[in-house]
Amino acid sequence: MEKSPIRVLVTGAAGQIAYSLLYPLSKGDVFGHDQPIELVLLDIEAMLTVLDGVVMEMQDCALPLLKSIIPTADTDVACKDIDVAILVGAMPRREGMERKDLLRANVKIFKAQGESLDKHAKKSVKVVVVGNPANTNAFICKKYAPSIPPENFTALTRLDQNRAQAQIATRMGLVPQDVKNVIIWGNHSNTQFPDVRHAKVAGKGVYEAVQDDAWLKGDFIKTVQTRGAAVIKARKLSSAMSAAKAIGDHMRDWWFGTKGDEYVSMAVPSDGSYGIEKGIIYSFPVQAKPDHTYSIVQGLQIDEFSKEKMTTTLTELQEEKCSAEEFCGY
């Protein structure tokens, strides 16, 4: 018997990340090749003509799992009865823009979407925020949706994890899948801490395998922290293909569960683990189960080097939270 369809919202649906995401999402790569999907596509009024073109292309892909497509510019219509919300729609940073400019421009979008999710979405809705500043937007979205469990709100740091795995793998002449349990701590920004202390490469500790502590503590971290800015500088546009791939990885692992003793990084509401202020959306190592629940991996040893870096990124998130609350009028 065919499964009942799930209703999946993608915002920013006329934008460049959505253009790379909608095809793999609708053909079963994220929720399974036996899971029918009703797609809801939200963008702003001015982009509805472009969105029509995206809808035509989706129809022309002739995908068996794609049961319906609803394009809309109305947030309340978009949130109605949804099971999953992939919140991409927001302004991307361009060369010369500061993070704070982005916060001011984007945070109100997530206040409005939080209020709408609260009223119209299923209480079990699983939310991933991609639009930047992703962690703080997710914090605001959660704050304005008090009837939905806070743990259902997450932000994307899987792209950072993928970047870190790729850097190590390239260095070792391996593939990224040979690198396990890299952790991204904190904010999806250049203060994030890509931590390989607990990671394994082809079964060995990364420090032992790479044999270059100066690189691991220096250029490796810097490269991952500033990779998004490097892509913007080169493309004059922010990462889209790799972001779409990471969204798929994040949702698939949350939906189906992580493998064995492997963990992945997701920005989730802190429960106070590792001394991180409760409620802040902070990237942690998590393990997920097939019932769509996840938990923060406990008991990892944190040395002084790591502690300092984890605190720096926390401080930035605390500052962003204060600015965001101020912009939203508390």
Ligand X SMILES: NC(=O)c1ccc[n+]([C@@H]2O[C@H](COP(=O)([O-])OP(=O)(O)OC[C@H]3O[C@@H](n4cnc5c(N)ncnc54)[C@H](O)[C@@H]3O)[C@@H](O)[C@H]2O)c1
Ligand Y SMILES: O=C(O)CC[C@H](O)C(=O)O
Binding residue numbers for NAD(+)? 43, 106, 130-132
Nearest to 320 by CA among 184, 194, 225, 191: 191
The radius of gyration of the chain's CA atoms, rounded to the nearest angstrom, is 19
What is residue 201's DSSP assignment? E
* Shortest reach from residue 6's CB to ligand Y, in Å: 27
- Out of 26, 106, 113, 132, point to the residue binding ligand Y (CB under 6 A): 132
From 35-43, 55-63, 167-175, 231-239, span contacting ligand Y (CB under 6 A): 231-239
Interacting residues toward ligand X by CB under 6 A:
11-12, 14-17, 42-44, 47, 88-93, 109, 130-132, 134, 156, 159, 188, 238-240, 243
- Output phi, psi for 94, to 5 deg: -115, 170
The dihedral over CA atoms of 31, 33, 36, 42, expressed in degrees to the nearest 10, equals 50
- Give the C-alpha separation, 151 to 142, whole Å: 9
Counting every residue written for the chain, the total comes to 330
Nearest to 248 by CA among 256, 260, 238: 256
Identify what 16 binds: ligand Y, ligand X, none; CB under 5 to 8 Å per kind: ligand X
Question: Which tokens is 66 given?
Answer: 């794609």
* Shortest reach from residue 40's CB to ligand X, in Å: 11
* Shortest reach from residue 199's CB to ligand X, in Å: 20
The catalytic residue among 188, 198, 250, 292 is 188
**Residue with CB nearest ligand X?**
15
Q: 């998004």: which residue's tokens?
A: 228
Identify what 229 binds: ligand X, ligand Y, none; CB under 5 to 8 Å per kind: ligand Y
* Shortest reach from residue 285's CB to ligand X, in Å: 17
CA atoms within 13 A on the CB side of 140: 30
* Shortest reach from residue 236's CB to ligand Y, in Å: 13
Query: Is there binding between residue 229 and ligand Y (CB under 6 A)?
Result: yes
Helices 241-256 & 16-26 angle (0-180, nearest 10): 40
Q: 């590792």: which residue's tokens?
A: 274
DSSP result, 98-132: -HHHHHHHHHHHHHHHHHHHHHHS-TT-EEEE-SS
Query: Is there binding between residue 223 and ligand Y (CB under 6 A)?
Result: no
| Residue among 49 and 301 whose Cβ is closer to ligand X | 49
- Give the C-alpha separation, 326 to 328, whole Å: 5
| Residue among 21 and 79 whose Cβ is closer to ligand Y | 21
120 an active-site residue? no
The count of residues interacting with ligand Y (CB under 6 A) is: 9
8 Å CB contact between 10 and 39? yes
- Out of 41, 69, 87, 93, point to the residue binding ligand Y (CB under 6 A): 93
| Residue among 86 and 276 whose Cβ is closer to ligand X | 86
Contacting positions for ligand Y (CB under 6 A): 93, 132, 159, 228-229, 231-232, 238-239
Catalytic residues: 188
